[in-house]
Amino acid sequence: MKRLRESLEKGEFVITAELEPPKGTDLTNVLANAKELVGKVHGVNVTDNQTAAMRMCPLVVCHRLLELGLDTIMQVTVRDRNRLALQSDLLGAHAIGIRNVLTLTGDPITVGDHKEAKTVFDIESTQILQIIDGLNHGKDMAGNDLHGATDLWGGAAASPDAPSLDIELSKFEKKVNCGAKFFQTQGVYDPDSFKRFMDKISKYNVKVLAGIILLKSAAMAQHMNKNIPGIKVPDAMIQQLEKAGKDHALEAGIEIAAKTIQEVRRYSSGVHIMAVGARNKVPEIIRQAGIS
Q: pTM of the predicted model, to two decimals?
A: 0.96
Mean pLDDT of 45-50: 97
Q: What is the pLDDT of residues 82-132, one digit of tens each?
A: 999 999 999 999 999 999 999 999 999 999 999 999 999 999 999 999 999
pLDDT of residue 208 exceeding 80: yes
Domain ranges of the chain: 4-214+268-289
Over residues 230-271, the pLDDT tens digits come to 899 999 999 999 999 989 999 999 999 999 999 999 999 999
Q: Going by CATH, does the domain composed of 4-214+268-289 fall within 3.20.20.220?
A: yes
One DSSP character per residue, the chain reads ---HHHHHHTT--EEEEEE---SSS--HHHHHHHHTTTTT-SEEEE-SSGGG-----HHHHHHHHHHHT--EEEEEESSS--HHHHHHHHHHHHHTT--EEEEE----GGGSS-TTPPP--SS-HHHHHHHHHHHHTTB-TTSPBPSS----EEEEEE-TT-S-HHHHHHHHHHHHHHT--EEEEEE---HHHHHHHHHHTTTS--EEEEEEEPP--HHHHHHHHHHSTT----HHHHHHHHHH-TTTHHHHHHHHHHHHHHHHTTTSSEEEEE-TT-GGGHHHHHHHHT--
What pLDDT is stored for residue 26 in this prediction?
98
